[in-house]
Every structure is written in structure tokens, then in C-alpha cells.
């Protein structure tokens, strides 16, 4: 991920500080702060923000009367970790960080702005899928008449995601296309209408003029700026210019899966005082995560991020399947069909490395295996499930003990071996036992009871 290297360096600075029991407290804090500041500056974070963060951490750590000057004190270590964590959260926290909650049974227009190539069209579809999965009636409008092929791109994305769309091959006026599209969807009682506007390679007056006119015509409830995380220092200037004319209310940060430095984007957020609501982590429709400062910083520091994992699971899983599986687990059951659905959900969640980073400790572990190998294994399992009958899938797997000949048939049908199927059944039995334990312990936690 963008910033992964930054995370590693900050983490090392903190670890070095808390494991240093030789030098005095103040010297250690100062040298940790120097390391953190250098890492942030080298990652394009604005110098003013870095000095502010440095000052804040220093003040908290050096003025805390409860701090024991000896590093053997567990409380001191915790305080250092917490202070650095909180200040990093402050860097990206602009107070309101939850995505726009549109009212149901009324039309809410969301307008997208940003430079060409930032990932606007892709993010429009991702957001449309996000809301559609949450029960909203969503439509997409392509008001980008500047870039040849823009409508075709949005159309292809929309068809793939099964989202209704509107655009025109002949009308050259983007304001008219936007207005016509929004009017059409309003008439048809769409609850969320997402308008994709034109971008330009550079900030130009004509672009800003066009944005203002579209905004006046469609009256968005929310305007979102799409920002490419890898553009470095330019991000701050770009966001300020867009803020002046489009007055966006939130930011979607794209290409967080890349390797470029992403600190410029953090500075952009801080300088426009506008929250990031989602981050794009790949080209696929589901490579989209709700942004939360705590999750972001946890990931940055390699602590894992269960919250995003659950969010993503909710977006990609088929709601009925997920509900049935949860009900089964509540009753202490876990059938082969539950296993199949879970497997497919995980495969839909995108590159395994993206998912692994959200699970504590998993990011490092996955580095030891080839992603291709793991993904091939998972696909083989799905072939096995596909060769089973409905009755077998809905069973607890023991059905194969009574009918071993079926093992041979399923192996033949899926192009695998009996051993492969026995391994799969073993895994399913393990999960079924976990479901049993969950039931004995009083069921699954409610949302409020999820780990932070
Ligand atoms: P637009 O010109 O702003 O509408 O940008 P597009 O949506 O056409 O995206 C430009 C390119 O960036 C396309 O190749 C997208 O697939 C790619 N893209 C968009 N978002 C992401 C992301 O989060 N990660 C990666 N790796 N690529 C992305």
C-alpha cells in the first residue's frame, strides 16, 4: 500500500524508543520524534503539519507527570504508542468521517469532481455499488463530454455492476447532459443519483467554470473530490483550487494500492479541512474501503484492521447468503454450502494481499506464500463445491462417510483427487466445531461488540 514504507519507519522509531532502556527519557523521545519527522517529510507530508505533530507528541510525552523516567514501565510504553497513534489519527481526521447518509425515498444527487485520470469514473461506480448493496436505488450519470470514450467507460462499468446509467453520444453540453440525467432518474424515483463530471489533465478555468455550472444545475447534496494518492506535493495545491470553486464536502483517495509516496494526500486533507470518506485500493469494483482514521493508522502501523474487513465482507457478500450463514452459525451449524459461500466471498474481495493487511499479523505471514498459489487452491475448492449435489452442499459433510463412492465421483467431476476432497471436508469440520463453540458461548457478537 502507499505509505507502507512510512508505516514501517514510524513503527520502527516507536519500537526502538520503547525498547531503549539505556538513554534517558527525553533524549529517547527526541530521537524518536526526529525519525518520525524525517519519515513523514520524505513521504511528502507538509512541513507545517510535521512540525505540529512533532510539537504535540513532544508536549504530551514530556509534560506528562505520570510518566516514569524508566522505560521498563509498561505504562510509559503504552503512552508513547498511544500518543503517536492519536497524533497520526489527528493528521487525517477532519471530525466528520462517515460517508454521506442519504435519506431514503427522496432523490439525493452526489457530484464527483477531480482531475482526469484520478480515478473519478471508477470511484463513481464503486460508490454506486456501495449504496446499492445497502438497499438504495442508485443511478449513474456521465456528464463528461470532454474526454472521448468517457461515456463508454462509465457504461461498461455500470453494466458490469448492474447499475442503471445515463449519458449521451451526441449532446456536447455537459450541463445539459447532467441535468437531463438527473431529471430522468428523479422522475423514476431513484434515491441516489451520482454525477460524473469531466476532468482535465491540469487545473483550468474552463474546468472550474463547467463544474460550477453543473453544480448549479443539479444541486448536489454532496460533492466529492477524487484525489490520486500518488501525486505527492501537488495534492495540496490541487485540493485548494478545487475547494475554492467546487467546495467539495469529502474526498475519495484512490490508488492507495500503489507504491508511490502518499503523504501529499494527507497534507491535502489537512489543508482543506475535509474528510476522506473512502479509499480506492485497486481497479476492481470492490477495491473500495470506508475510511476511518483509526483503521488507516492501524494499518499504517501494521496493527490490522478488522473494521474494514467486516465492511468489505458486507459489500461483496450476497446479503441472503451471508444472512443464512450467520443464522447457521448462531445455531452452531456450518454446512458445506456455508463454506462455499464464504470462499466465494473471500475470492470476490480482491487480491488476497489487500485482505491480509486487514487481519492482525496476516500481512507479514502472506509474504511467505505466493498469492497465485493460494488463489489457485481456493479456486480448486470452488470446483469441488460445484461438483456436489444440493443435498450434499446443505449437509454437514458427514454424508460422505456413508457414501464413499460419491467422493470418487466428486473428485472426477472437479478434476481433483479424493485426498483434495477429504482435506476440504476436514477444514469444513473444523469450522463446524468453531460454530458449535460460538453457539455455546452465546452466539456471535453484535456490531457494537466487534473488536475496535
Ligand atoms: P478518471 O479519468 O478520473 O475518470 O479516471 P478513471 O476512473 O478512468 O481511472 C484512471 C485509471 O486509474 C484507470 O485505469 C483505473 O482503472 C485506475 N484506477 C482507479 N482507481 C484506482 C485505484 O484505487 N487503484 C488502482 N491501482 N487503479 C485505479
- Do 173 and 77 share a structural domain? no
Whether 248 and 382 map to the same domain: the answer is no
In short, whether 118's Cβ falls inside 6 Å of ligand 1 is yes
In this prediction, residue 181 carries a pLDDT of 97
pLDDT along the chain (452 residues), means of 10: 71 79 79 90 86 90 64 65 82 72 89 92 96 93 89 95 94 95 96 92 77 94 92 83 86 82 78 87 88 75 54 63 74 84 72 56 48 74 91 90 90 92 85 69 44 28
Tell me: do 270 and 188 sit in the same domain.
yes
Q: Are residues 256 and 141 in the same domain?
A: yes
pLDDT value at residue 43:
82
Domain boundary among 245, 269, 303: 303
pLDDT at 42: 86
pLDDT value for 173 = 94
- CB of 350 sitting under 6 A from ligand 1: no
Distance 255 CA to ligand 1 centre (A): 7
- The model's pTM is 0.67
Q: Number of structural domains, the chain? A: 3
> Same structural domain for residues 82 and 48?
yes
* CATH number, residue 24: 1.20.120.140
Q: Is 341 exposed, middle or buried (0-12, 13-18, 19+ CB in 10 A)?
A: buried
Closest CA to 82 of 134, 141, 17: 17
Residues 352 and 288 in one domain: no
Give the pLDDT confidence score for residue 127 in this predicted structure: 96
Residue 311 resides in a domain: no
Are both 262 and 138 inside the same structural domain?
Answer: yes
Do 332 and 423 belong together in one domain?
Answer: yes
| Residue 72 in domain | yes
pLDDT at residue number 365:
42
Half-sphere exposure of 62 (CA within 13 A, CB side): 14
Q: Which domain holds residue 126?
A: 108-292+299-303
DSSP state at residue 448: G
Rama region for 36: left / alpha / beta (φ>0; ψ in -120 to 50; rest): alpha
Ligand 1 atom with least separation from CA of 124: 7
Residues 253 and 133 reside in one and the same domain: yes
Q: DSSP labels for 193-210?
A: EEEEEP--SS--HHHHHH
Q: Compute the distance from residue 103 Cα to the ligand 1 centre, in Å.
A: 29
Residue 281 CA, closest ligand 1 atom number: 23
Q: Are 158 and 165 in contact (CB under 8 A)?
A: yes
Ligand 1, atom 20, residue with closest C-alpha: 119
Nearest-5° Cα angle at 443, 366 to 378: 30
Query: What pLDDT is recorded for position 361?
Result: 42
Q: Give the pairing of strands 222-228 and 138-143.
A: unpaired
Closest Cα partner for 241 from 205, 216, 214, 189? 205
- pLDDT tens digits, residue range 38-62? 988 888 888 888 999 999 999 888 8
pLDDT of residue 445: 46
pLDDT confidence of residue 447:
39
Q: How far is the centre of ligand 1, averaged over its atoms, from the C-alpha of 284 (Å)?
A: 9
In this structure, the answer to whether residues 366 and 237 fall within a common structural domain is no
Contact (CB, 8 A) for 70 and 160: no
**Orientation angle between helical segments 4-19 and 74-92, nearest 10 degrees:** 160
CA-closest candidate to residue 166, choices 190, 146, 130: 190
**Residue 422's CATH number:** 1.10.260.30
- pLDDT for the residue 17: 80
- pLDDT at residue 328 in the model: 78
Among 272, 303, 334, the domain boundary falls at: 303
Q: How many CB atoms lie within 10 A of CB 279?
A: 27
Amino acid at each position: 500500500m502507499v505509505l507502507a514504507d512510512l508505516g514501517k519507519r514510524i513503527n520502527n522509531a516507536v519500537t526502538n524508543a520503547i525498547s531503549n532502556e539505556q538513554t534517558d527519557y527525553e533524549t529517547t523521545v527526541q530521537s524518536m520524534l526526529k525519525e518520525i519527522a524525517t519519515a513523514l517529510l520524505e513521504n511528502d507530508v507538509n512541513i507545517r503539519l510535521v512540525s505540529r505533530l512533532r510539537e504535540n507528541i513532544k508536549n504530551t510525552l514530556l509534560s506528562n507527570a505520570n510518566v516514569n523516567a524508566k522505560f521498563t514501565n509498561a505504562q510509559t510504553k503504552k503512552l508513547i504508542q498511544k500518543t503517536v497513534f492519536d497524533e497520526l489519527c489527528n493528521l487525517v481526521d477532519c471530525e466528520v468521517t462517515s460517508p454521506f447518509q442519504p435519506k431514503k425515498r427522496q432523490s439525493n444527487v452526489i457530484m464527483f469532481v477531480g482531475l482526469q485520470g484520478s480515478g473519478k469514473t471508477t470511484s463513481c461506480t464503486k460508490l454506486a455499488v456501495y449504496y446499492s448493496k445497502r438497499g438504495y436505488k442508485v443511478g449513474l450519470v456521465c456528464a463528461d463530454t470532454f474526454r472521448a470514450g468517457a461515456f463508454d467507460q462509465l457504461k461498461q462499468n455500470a453494466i458490469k455492476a448492474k447499475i442503471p446509467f445515463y449519458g449521451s453520444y451526441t449532446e456536447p453540453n455537459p450541463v445539459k447532459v447532467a441535468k437531463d440525467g438527473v431529471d430522468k432518474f428523479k422522475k423514476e424515483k431513484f434515491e441516489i443519483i451520482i454525477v460524473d463530471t469531466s476532468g482535465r489533465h491540469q487545473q483550468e478555468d474552463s474546468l472550474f467554470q463547467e463544474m460550477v455550472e453543473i453544480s448549479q444545475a443539479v444541486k448536489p447534496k454532496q460533492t466529492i473530490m477524487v484525489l490520486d494518492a500518488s501525486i505527492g506535493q501537488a495534492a495540496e495545491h490541487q485540493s485548494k483550487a478545487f475547494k475554492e470553486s467546487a467546495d467539495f464536502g469529502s474526498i475519495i483517495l484512490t490508488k492507495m494500492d500503489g507504491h508511490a509516496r502518499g503523504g501529499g494526500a494527507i497534507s491535502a486533507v489537512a489543508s482543506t479541512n475535509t474528510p476522506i470518506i473512502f479509499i480506492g485500493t485497486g481497479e476492481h469494483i470492490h477495491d473500495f474501503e470506508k475510511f476511518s482514521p483509526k483503521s488507516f493508522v492501524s494499518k499504517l502501523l501494521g496493527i490490522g484492521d478488522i473494521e474494514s474487513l467486516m465492511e468489505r465482507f458486507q459489500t461483496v457478500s450476497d446479503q441472503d447468503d451471508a444472512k443464512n450463514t450467520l443464522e447457521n452459525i448462531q445455531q452452531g451449524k456450518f454446512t458445506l454450502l456455508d463454506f462455499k459461500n464464504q470462499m466465494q466471498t473471500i475470492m470476490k474481495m480482491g487480491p488476497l494481499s489487500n485482505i491480509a493487511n486487514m487481519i492482525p499479523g496476516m500481512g507479514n505471514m502472506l509474504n511467505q506464500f505466493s498469492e497465485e498459489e493460494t488463489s489457485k487452491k481456493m479456486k480448486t475448492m470452488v470446483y469441488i463445491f460445484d461438483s456436489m449435489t444440493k443435498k450434499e452442499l446443505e449437509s454437514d459433510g458427514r454424508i460422505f462417510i456413508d457414501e464413499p463412492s460419491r467422493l470418487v465421483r466428486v473428485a472426477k467431476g472437479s478434476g481433483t483427487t479424493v485426498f483434495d476432497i477429504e482435506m476440504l471436508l476436514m477444514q469444513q469440520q473444523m469450522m463446524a466445531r468453531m460454530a458449535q463453540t460460538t453457539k455455546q458461548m452465546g452466539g456471535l457478537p453484535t456490531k457494537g461488540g466487534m473488536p475496535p
